[in-house]
Structure 1
Amino acid sequence: MASSSDLDPRTPVLVGVGQASERLDDPGYRRLSAVELAAAAARAALEDTGAEPAALAAAIDTVAGIRQFEISTPVATAPLGRSDNYPRSVARRLGADPARAILEVAGGQGPQHLVNELGAGIAAGTAEVVLIFGSEAISTVRHLAGAPDRPDFTEHVDGDLEDRGFGIAGLVTRQQVAHGLVDAPSQYALCENARRGRLKQSREEYAAGMGELFAPFTTVAAANPHAAAPTERDAAELSTPSEANRPIADPYTRYLVARDQVNQGAAAVLMSVAAARRLGVPENRWVFLHGFADLREQSLLERIDLGAGPASVLAAQHALELAGIGVEALATVDLYSCFPIAVSNVSEGVGLTATDSRPLTLTGGLPFFGGAGNNYSMHAIAETVHRLRAAPGSFGLVGANGGILSKYSAGVYSTTPTPWPVSRAAALQAEIDSWPTVELAQHADGWGTVETYTVTHHGGSRHGIVIGRLERDGRRFIASTAPGDEDMLALLGDSDPLGARVYVRSFGRGNRVSTSEERMDQLFPPRAPVPREAYEHVLVRRDGHLLEVTINRPDARNALHPPANDELDEVFDAFFADPELWVAILTGAGDKAFSAGNDLGYTAAGKPMWVPKNGFAGLTARRGMTKPVIAAVNGYAMGGGCEIALACHLVVADSTAQFALSEVKVGLVAGAGGLVRLPRAIPPKLATELILTGRRISAEQALDYGLVNRVTEAGGALPAARALAGEILAGSPTSVRASLQIMAETDGITDTVDAVNHPSTALDDIMVSEDLIEGLTAFAQKRTPRWRNR
């Protein structure tokens, strides 16, 4: 260890910490906004340095703010308004005008990560005096949102802002959303039950263990003046369901999950040794970072063991390694505690236990001290600094977790002077990134076994989520229970389903899981591929061997929403199953649009969204399209509408038609086949231009590019499509079907001779078909063939 006089002047040192809070029932409750809470904590941090606060504020060159929940996701709202530049709003209240302002990504790792990152920046000379802070006023916002005298927390502040975005990439997938797996309690519950399975514990044993882990946390919270729920509780009370301790997501009850209804703020001042000396910060206020690490875990559903977070353990171990100490040397520990597994995962990994004489929290933990949103660990850092100053030379560990055991930042602190450590976290991250992963089955069908599970509780209703492995190939799947499936809910909620055999089936809305194939058939009776008498969003007309299908939503420019997609999927199931239907035409009602694609108004209204397994309009992801489908395009074929046309075998357009993959214009991508089919249909450079710009092209341009077969006068697309269908119907339907099959089979074979020699069963079928005999006989007899399609 070095003395302070031997240190590089750029060595970073933590010199001040501060906290602020208020509860709704406090005397003198002030209804502070998140900005005001952060400013109060920042003032306390400046005063904590022992130097002149005004001089310190003037010296700040960098401010970094932790995102509140109301700005942590794209759909979050702020009922009382919010600042459009949170870091500078706080800085302005302190009289600071920093050159750089940062708004960190979402995640509980943020406070410790910023200390690590900006400490490295100070050591490198890119910053000198840094203020880091965060806050939440969720309790106040919920309390006053409907009040007639509610405050307005809206404010605008000029100045540059380095907004790092939400940082949630990889944390929420389409698969998870489709199965209702988006909230933290549900996802952590899956991890918790997977851990229980690995430990081979019963439900009761595991629940008791969670209560024993968190009971000491309540004791700490009860003595903390900033705690949101300062009530001491024993292990049994924490883990036993009751009216006050209702089930949330098995195995969690209310007392075992993070409490987000808080009004709290915390801040820290970090500066170089040179700045500390210049600004008159006494050395007895200095606290050094002896070790640190920032690591990221694999995505949740890719992990071999869903009940562990080895990257988090590696981060804590590496921080201790850099500090040159073991866990026995730690005087204080605060491990992020949103849910029990976030604590047990790291504590067991580094050799700490719930019965250790040192508590695993300094604040009282997220369920009892309070979640404080993404900023919880700033409070842990503040408490660590106070305790280390009281015991000079001792060490404290702060572990900060983000995502679903996804992002972990760790720091080891001490008042003992030390040079800035050199981390090898990049090499550790490369090691993590090389770990094997589990293949996920997007569409899961057949028997499987339960790997982990949870049952969520909302207003008296229950919803089961299962992660399992398919028996036939070992791929992992995610599935949810069907409404009304009490048998499956009983398996998940009343017995021990880990390792149980279950049956899973895929649908457009996602995978569903039940106790058996027979029970699945009861819940979802197999649908015969026959047409209905009538449809709500589709018109169907049969003319001999020709089927005409009209998207009948002209008021929405024939844009498609889930009910319309489902109907089209049914219609085309029936078409491909009916041996007497040989050609289909798809068009749009009215003269304005073939289809404007996805119904964005329906989507924006927050209604449930899904697409059939066979894709948009039941076509864009359909395999085995061995009967010709003709798109009769009248007017707009935009976005998904253009993708439907691309999925059809032939396209006839009238002169008013316009085509575009316009998804980039609304923040989407042409994910229903447009990104694949367009570059295969036209020159790749041209396809790339159309995809990246969303530019519209006319029917004549589409004809020139080879996207359209024929162009007619306005209003003539459907008659021309019928004429084209007639030409096809004049040929053998068996030959047409075989031709389409062989073209599809050889589409991916690049070598021409290999493609020609491809052994297709379609050729065998042709050789024994009645249509072949009829065709040769009719030719010899000089008459029109009478095709039988067999």
Structure 2
Amino acid sequence: MSQVSGRTPILIGVGQASERLEDPDYRRLSPIDLAAKAARAACADTLASADLIAHIDAIYAIRTVADSVPAPMRAQRAPFGSPQNTPAAVAERIGAQPKLAVYSPACGDEPQKLLGEACERLFDGELRMVLLCGAEAASTQRAAQAAGEKLDWSEQSDQPLDDRHWNVGGMRTKHMNDHNMIVPTSVYPLLENARRARMGLSREAYAEEMGRLFAPFSLVAANNPHAASRKSRSVEQIVTVDADNRMIADPHPRAVVARDQVNQGAALLLTTVDTARELGVPQSQWVFLHGYAAADERHVLERQDLGASAAMAGVYHQALGEAGVSIEQIQYLDIYSCFPIAVFSALDALGLSSDDPRGLTLTGGLPFFGGPGNNYSMHAIAELALRLRANPGSFGLVGANGGFMNTHAAGVYSTTPCEWKQCDSSDLQQHIDALPAPAFTQKPEGWGRVESYTVLHGKTGPSDVIVIGRLERTGERFVANSIAADSEALQMFTTQDGLQQRVLVCWHQGVNRFAMSEASLQRQIPRPPLILQPSYESVKVERYGHVLEVMIDRPEVSNALLPETNDELEQIFNAYEADDTLWVAIISGAGDKAFCTGNDLKAASTGRRMWMPRTGFGGLTARPNRVKPVICAVNGYAMGGGFEIALACDLIVADDAAQFALSEVRVGLLAGAGGLQRLTRQIPLKQAMEMILTGRRVAAQEAKELGFVNRVVPQGTALQGARALANELLECSPNSIRLSKELLNEQARYASEGDAIVANYRAIDKVVNSEDRIEGVMAFAQKRKPVWKNR
């Protein structure tokens, strides 16, 4: 063996553990029990002459699925509890005393990424021996729940933990969440059909491709003692949809989807060449990491090609390049296989075919071997190490994937010694981040062509359609959902190929909806008329001459708004803008306790869907080109979104008991309806920053001194004060007021005062040629009150 530095990191032990419900020795092991069992197997696998457990000074544990969600949701995901410190729980079971305990983020590429990190820290001398481990016991958990049994998997610990948190929020935008692009089974089908579109294949032809890809995987799983399913399947069995292989989401039947009901654990033991020699680990057990890379993809809707991953391609090519080998020199491959598209994308990137004689999996793949949460690729690395030892000098490649093909890592391994070289993927990441993204609109209107789609299926059949498309008018990408109970859309996308289908899209109650025709869309989502209705559910409306009074009528919850209340306010202010006889509006809140305290957080906490109308919170905060004045009358509290409504108004009259705050930071939110932008422009920056960052309340008099309140009136008289101010506005030309606001809206485009002043404004031409200008001049000359015509 050629000499390498004694600091060179090496993989010396691998272990796996599993159990099935039907096994005669089934013991209902917890995830920690399985991880510990795999860890002991990894130590035994080293064939060392010394007990290695005492030398483990770091344990990296892969985050379980139960911990891969925000903390408030974990009780639902982990009904039997989970350890406070997973690495410490494993350490206690095997008798280790590590100085470092790391709990990974949540993603399927973490085993490969953390192995690279561990190697770096071993080479730097920070660590001597590292255990990587992870496990899931979802099959046991679900069986116990179904049987009504109570298990206790919780464990307390006071040991220090480097907890890297669940950290998957960035993979899904709020817009994706709103459109049911939440779980892998609703997103990967969209990626799959996008690739099918690029390949120009029919649904039947592509299904055949998926079957040919995965049939060999099932054969490998059938011969793997740790596989969750040890039944091989033919191409026909994989693609035929029946009661045992129901459609999950077009084009994915159950047989091609990662299997999460598993009881599986894996562990890897790493050290340095010097330490291995010292402890008597035979050189026949050593495996070297020759090259590795990791990078993150743009989120789904920012990718130019939904059916490919530039980050995945870059990671594979960098790992091979760092190792100094070509793909042809690789004898063993394990491509992450949560869905066919993940494998196809890797094959496209590497120039390989699905029938590559080397095979594409070492375990049997996630649909057949099993998908133990974030830990699958640790099993792949363990299997690869065994094959490399059996064939010294050979090379193997493991690819790992997380999220919706969001995160990628790859490693090239061999028993052939090599000097350690730290790999840096920052240039690759910079390249990925700089790739152009297609123009995108969150609120599309009009006709579009379907770029990709999926039909979601429940146990009783198809239920919903998700489309990603491009607007015909602008080319912008959009995502939209079918309308509930729209049988026409459901039938079309179920019985026919939806690629390039023409659909009509609109934005409704926080979600883009589509239909197959204008008549269908109007029938299912009728547009409200631009006139005031006789009554509303949560808002009272009165008109007094040219003044419209709008009162939020939910005093029992401090006038907090439901989405439906926002919709009503949008309709009301749409009607106000459209009615030439209405010149001034006043918005207030019922009762004397509060004007509005923002979103109804109690309603939101129930899990009900929340949305805002196109024109923003209260129908006002996202209405930038409004040209009619709105006065806000504030009695009591104006908190969070309520304050944002007030800031969006032109004038504020507050009673002397009023209090204002952007309180979102105190409940883990931020003022996302324009409050941050408006407050920092309406008052001095430092004062605004204090209010924003502390959420502190400002009383009425201070608010007036800061400059965002116009008038302070006695407690309980804000509405009367607003009426008095409205009357003052009515003495002026409504046409001039409207054109003044139009000019101000236009001048906001100019950064400098000088540019704004010398710009040409159409409003000036309009006012010069208006009847109100002539009436105003004549009334002044005749010493009478003008009679405004608003034209």
CA-to-aligned-CA distance 1:355-404 (integer Å, 9 cap, x gap) = 22222111111011111001001111111111111222222111111112
Instruction: Name which of structure 1's ranges 270-279 and 346-355 shifts more when overlaid on structure 2.
Output: 346-355
Secondary structure class of the residue paired with 1:170? helix
- Match of residue 652 from structure 1: 653
- Match of residue 121 from structure 1: 121
Taking the TM superposition and a 5 Å limit, the aligned residue runs for 1:197-212 are: 197-212=197-212
Q: Check whether the contact 2:219–2:232 (CA below 8 A) recurs between aligned residues.
A: yes
Q: Check whether the contact 2:559–2:595 (CA below 8 A) recurs between aligned residues.
A: yes
Tell me how far 1:664 sits from its aligned partner.
Answer: 1.0
Instruction: Name which of structure 1's ranges 136-145 and 501-510 shifts more when overlaid on structure 2.
Output: 501-510
One-letter amino acid of the counterpart of residue 764, structure 1: D
2:746 is aligned with 1:750:
no
2:25 is aligned with 1:24:
no
Q: Check whether the contact 2:9–2:122 (CA below 8 A) recurs between aligned residues.
A: yes
2:610 is aligned with 1:609:
yes
- Match of residue 618 from structure 1: 619
**2-structure distance, mates of 1:343, 1:565:** 45
- Match of residue 563 from structure 2: 562
2:41 is aligned with 1:40:
no
**2-structure distance, mates of 1:528, 1:149:** 56
- Match of residue 712 from structure 1: 713
TM, length-normalised to structure 2? 0.97
Secondary structure class of the residue paired with 1:107? coil
Taking the TM superposition and a 5 Å limit, the aligned residue runs for 1:173-192 are: 173-192=173-192
Tell me how far 1:721 sits from its aligned partner.
Answer: 0.9
Q: Check whether the contact 2:532–2:575 (CA below 8 A) recurs between aligned residues.
A: yes
Taking the TM superposition and a 5 Å limit, the aligned residue runs for 1:511-550 are: 511-550=512-551
- Match of residue 71 from structure 1: 67
- Match of residue 662 from structure 2: 661
Task: List gaps (5 residues or longer) in structure 1.
Answer: none
Q: Check whether the contact 2:172–2:299 (CA below 8 A) recurs between aligned residues.
A: no
Secondary structure class of the residue paired with 2:52? helix
Instruction: Name which of structure 1's ranges 533-542 and 206-215 shifts more when overlaid on structure 2.
Output: 533-542
**1-structure distance, mates of 2:89, 2:186:** 35
- Match of residue 503 from structure 2: 502
Taking the TM superposition and a 5 Å limit, the aligned residue runs for 1:372-521 are: 372-459=372-459, 460-521=461-522
Tell me how far 1:221 sits from its aligned partner.
Answer: 1.0
Tell me how far 1:422 sits from its aligned partner.
Answer: 4.2
**2-structure distance, mates of 1:590, 1:30:** 62
**1-structure distance, mates of 2:341, 2:752:** 54
Task: List gaps (5 residues or longer) in structure 2.
Answer: none
Instruction: Name which of structure 1's ranges 405-414 and 646-655 shifts more when overlaid on structure 2.
Output: 405-414
Tell me how far 1:147 sits from its aligned partner.
Answer: 4.3
When residues 239 and 146 of structure 1 are mapped into structure 2, their CA distance, relative to the original with a 3 A threshold, is closer
Instruction: Name which of structure 1's ranges 701-710 and 560-569 shifts more when overlaid on structure 2.
Output: 560-569
One-letter amino acid of the counterpart of residue 170, structure 2: G
Instruction: Name which of structure 1's ranges 441-450 and 195-204 shifts more when overlaid on structure 2.
Output: 441-450
Total equivalences in the alignment:
786
**2-structure distance, mates of 1:262, 1:554:** 51
Tell me how far 1:650 sits from its aligned partner.
Answer: 0.5
Tell me how far 1:582 sits from its aligned partner.
Answer: 1.3
Secondary structure class of the residue paired with 1:88? helix
Q: Check whether the contact 1:80–1:145 (CA below 8 A) recurs between aligned residues.
A: no
**2-structure distance, mates of 1:511, 1:27:** 52
Tell me how far 1:424 sits from its aligned partner.
Answer: 4.7
One-letter amino acid of the counterpart of residue 535, structure 1: Y
CA-to-aligned-CA distance 1:704-762 (integer Å, 9 cap, x gap) = 00010011121121111111111111222111111111122112323334323433332
CA-to-aligned-CA distance 1:453-508 (integer Å, 9 cap, x gap) = 11111243421111111222222111111123333333322222322332222234
CA-to-aligned-CA distance 1:84-138 (integer Å, 9 cap, x gap) = 1111111121111211111111111011111111112212222221010111111
Taking the TM superposition and a 5 Å limit, the aligned residue runs for 1:622-641 are: 622-641=623-642
One-letter amino acid of the counterpart of residue 27, structure 1: P
Q: Check whether the contact 1:111–1:378 (CA below 8 A) recurs between aligned residues.
A: yes
Tell me how far 1:181 sits from its aligned partner.
Answer: 0.9
One-letter amino acid of the counterpart of residue 65, structure 1: A
CA-to-aligned-CA distance 1:224-255 (integer Å, 9 cap, x gap) = 12111221111111112111111111110111
When residues 750 and 384 of structure 1 are mapped into structure 2, their CA distance, relative to the original with a 3 A threshold, is closer
Taking the TM superposition and a 5 Å limit, the aligned residue runs for 1:246-257 are: 246-257=246-257
One-letter amino acid of the counterpart of residue 103, structure 2: L
**1-structure distance, mates of 2:512, 2:248:** 23
One-letter amino acid of the counterpart of residue 64, structure 1: Y
**2-structure distance, mates of 1:753, 1:707:** 25
Taking the TM superposition and a 5 Å limit, the aligned residue runs for 1:100-249 are: 100-145=100-145, 147-249=147-249
Secondary structure class of the residue paired with 2:611? coil
Secondary structure class of the residue paired with 2:322? helix
Secondary structure class of the residue paired with 1:101? strand
Q: Check whether the contact 2:241–2:253 (CA below 8 A) recurs between aligned residues.
A: yes
CA-to-aligned-CA distance 1:17-64 (integer Å, 9 cap, x gap) = 1111111222232111111111111111111111267x4222111111
Q: Among 6, 10, 16, which residue is 1:9 paired with?
A: 6
One-letter amino acid of the counterpart of residue 314, structure 1: G
TM, length-normalised to structure 1? 0.97
Q: Check whether the contact 1:19–1:44 (CA below 8 A) recurs between aligned residues.
A: yes
Q: Check whether the contact 1:103–1:164 (CA below 8 A) recurs between aligned residues.
A: yes
**2-structure distance, mates of 1:165, 1:409:** 19
2:345 is aligned with 1:345:
yes
Secondary structure class of the residue paired with 1:221? helix
**1-structure distance, mates of 2:419, 2:715:** 78
One-letter amino acid of the counterpart of residue 8, structure 1: S
**2-structure distance, mates of 1:51, 1:714:** 82
CA-to-aligned-CA distance 1:489-531 (integer Å, 9 cap, x gap) = 3332222232233222223422222223343223222221112
One-letter amino acid of the counterpart of residue 58, structure 2: T
**2-structure distance, mates of 1:314, 1:773:** 70
2:287 is aligned with 1:291:
no
Q: Among 53, 56, 60, which residue is 2:52 paired with?
A: 56
One-letter amino acid of the counterpart of residue 534, structure 1: S
2:597 is aligned with 1:596:
yes
- Match of residue 260 from structure 1: 260
CA-to-aligned-CA distance 1:547-566 (integer Å, 9 cap, x gap) = 11111111211111211111
- Match of residue 358 from structure 1: 358
**2-structure distance, mates of 1:46, 1:376:** 20
When residues 308 and 708 of structure 1 are mapped into structure 2, their CA distance, relative to the original with a 3 A threshold, is same
2:776 is aligned with 1:779:
no
**1-structure distance, mates of 2:402, 2:63:** 13
**1-structure distance, mates of 2:634, 2:217:** 66
Q: Check whether the contact 1:108–1:402 (CA below 8 A) recurs between aligned residues.
A: yes
**1-structure distance, mates of 2:602, 2:790:** 43
Q: Percent identity?
A: 52
**1-structure distance, mates of 2:550, 2:183:** 41
Q: Check whether the contact 2:462–2:490 (CA below 8 A) recurs between aligned residues.
A: no
**2-structure distance, mates of 1:115, 1:284:** 20
- Match of residue 692 from structure 1: 693
**2-structure distance, mates of 1:245, 1:441:** 37
One-letter amino acid of the counterpart of residue 138, structure 1: A
Q: Check whether the contact 1:218–1:368 (CA below 8 A) recurs between aligned residues.
A: yes
**1-structure distance, mates of 2:677, 2:687:** 13
One-letter amino acid of the counterpart of residue 786, structure 2: P
CA-to-aligned-CA distance 1:139-162 (integer Å, 9 cap, x gap) = 111222354441111111111111
**2-structure distance, mates of 1:120, 1:38:** 23
